[in-house]
A and B are shown apart, each in its own frame.
Chain A
Amino acid sequence: MILHGLEGRQSYSEGTQNPIRLNAYGSVMAERGGKYAEAVAAGRVFSITSQAAVAVTDALATTWTGLGVGNPLYSGINVILLQFSAVGSLAKEKAGVIGLEISKTSMTASLTPVNRLTGGAAATAYASAGQTITTPVLWDVLGSYGTANTNTVGALDAEVYDIDGSIVLTPGYMVAPFTTLDSTAAFLFSFVWEERAA
């Protein structure tokens, strides 16, 4: 069976069924755009950002602080992590490796995530800047951090890591930044995620 489309840009009405658009070489034309745009337009994408510099605890500490996102028990959803970013807003006390750690902890809500479709429904996932957690495991090594103050460097690249859906939090798990050593409040973090029915 040979499938046929129609060459060239068409002008169809909502709800009608029509041939798929082809280019002059016979390739199927696909509307791409921002890869998260459809999920955002459907109201499924959320984020949380530190609103002020936060202190971080060292390595796999269970008396954890920083910024975390958790999928509460019995939520009925999976949390598909999309992006993580970390910046220094002040000089940090110590230097080390930065990464992402996972803990089997049902987080207590304390911060308010936002729907990336402005005005959209509230998130089911929770966010927090610190609580006692079950011993985490380091999952992703992302780079290093130092003690340089931002007033000693020029403009830096955005340190944004495209998790790209490669971590899915099932109910009862949380993700948080990992830093080898603790620091007084100097970091700002953010997470972006998609929520889908489990």
Chain B
Amino acid sequence: MPDMEGKVGRQTLDAGVPGPIRQSKTGDLMIEQGGKYAEATLAGRMFSVANQAKVATTAALTTAWTGLAICNPTGSGIQAKISKFGYGLQIASDTAGAIGLMIAATATLTTNLLVPVNRLTGGTASKVLASAGHTIATPVLWDLVGSYGTVAITGTSVTFTTHEIDGALILQPGYTLCTYTTLATTACFVFSFLWEEV
């Protein structure tokens, strides 16, 4: 029965040439970690989209929805593994409530379209569609991310509000991921999504 062997110390291996796995002096397997999305980004599989200006949002599970959505269209041949969600208030909101993510069985987006970008600059186009407003099938609230209120944002210094989904949501073909706010807001929010296509 073969041992799983390594070699102690940093190696100098050429592309395409088999070599021993690196191990430490205590026998541990050495793992190159780095940025956890770096390999997928270098392979051109990571994409994102952001509203380019503040957007109004609709209340809760409204089907005449606005905000930011991404859709994995039927027949795309891919799955969209959702990695991150970001949001910010550009001005004070006129209502208060919860902010979250919801899913609708909506198979395409055709209005208020936005263009996703490949996170490897200059990379190939995404197969996912994005929109700032579309009629959707009745959605279901999946994730709660935080709250929003009507306090003026001028009272803050700098506040980051990003959510690490970390692949805990996979969008199959025929489904749409949308932003959720409990109550409708006039244009005050800006949103972004980051995902991997496999």
A residues near B (Cβ < 8 Å) are 1-6, 8-21, 28-32, 35-36, 38-39, 60, 78, 80-82, 86-88, 92, 95-99, 102, 104, 137-150, 153, 156, 159-170, 172-173, 180, 187, 194, 196
A-B contact pairs, 6 of them (CB 8 A): A12-B23, A12-B25, A17-B7, A18-B6, A21-B29, A141-B190
How many cross-chain pairs have Cβ atoms below 8 Å apart between A and B? 267
Known: A20-B5, A99-B88. A168 touches B41 (CB 8 A): yes
Nearest-neighbour CB distance to chain B for A47, whole angstroms, equals: 14
Once the chains bind, are B50 and A139 in contact (CB under 8 Å)? yes
Tell me if B91 is interfacial: C-beta within 8 Å of chain A: yes
Chain A hits for B35, CB < 8 A: 35-36, 80-82, 163-166, 194
Interface centre among B84, B158, B162 (most CB of A within 10 A): B158
Binary contact track B72-95/A, C-beta < 8 Å → 1, others 0? 000000000001101111110000
Nearest opposing residue in chain B for A101, CB measure: B50
Contacts of B83 in A (CB 8 A): 166
B residues at A contact (CB < 8 Å) = 1-9, 20-21, 23-39, 41-42, 46, 48, 50-52, 54, 83-84, 86-91, 117, 119-122, 152-162, 164, 190-192, 194
B3 near A166 (CB under 8 angstroms)? no
* Separation of A50 and B48 alpha carbons in the complex (Å): 27
Asked whether A18 lies within 8 Å of B5 as measured between CB atoms, the reply is yes
Decide yes or no: A164 and B36 within 8 Å by CB, A4-B2, A143-B162, A159-B159 being known contacts: yes
Name the residue of chain A whose CB is nearest to the CB of B9. Answer: A14
Nearest CB on A from B117, distance (A): 6
Q: Contact between B5 and A148 (Cβ–Cβ < 8 Å)?
A: no
Q: Give A156's nearest chain B residue, CB to CB.
A: B157
Partner of B158, one of A15, A16, A86: A86
Q: Which residue on A lies nearest to B38, using beta carbons?
A: A165
A166 touches B119 (CB 8 A): yes
Contact at A161–B162, with CB atoms within 8 Å? Answer: yes
Q: Within 8 Å CB of B3, what residues of A? A: 3-6, 19-20
Q: Is B89 within 8 A of A144, CB to CB?
A: yes
- B5 touching A168, Cβ below 8 Å: no
* Contact B154 A148, beta carbon cutoff 8 Å: yes
In the complex, the answer to whether A166 meets B30 with C-beta atoms within 8 Å is: no
Given A1-B2, A21-B28, A144-B153: A14 and B120 interface contact (C-beta under 8 Å): no
A72 to B42, CA, bound (A): 18
A5-B4, A194-B34 given; A142·B117 CB < 8 A: no
Question: Quick one: which of B23, B41, B122 contacts A167, CB cutoff 8 A?
Answer: B41
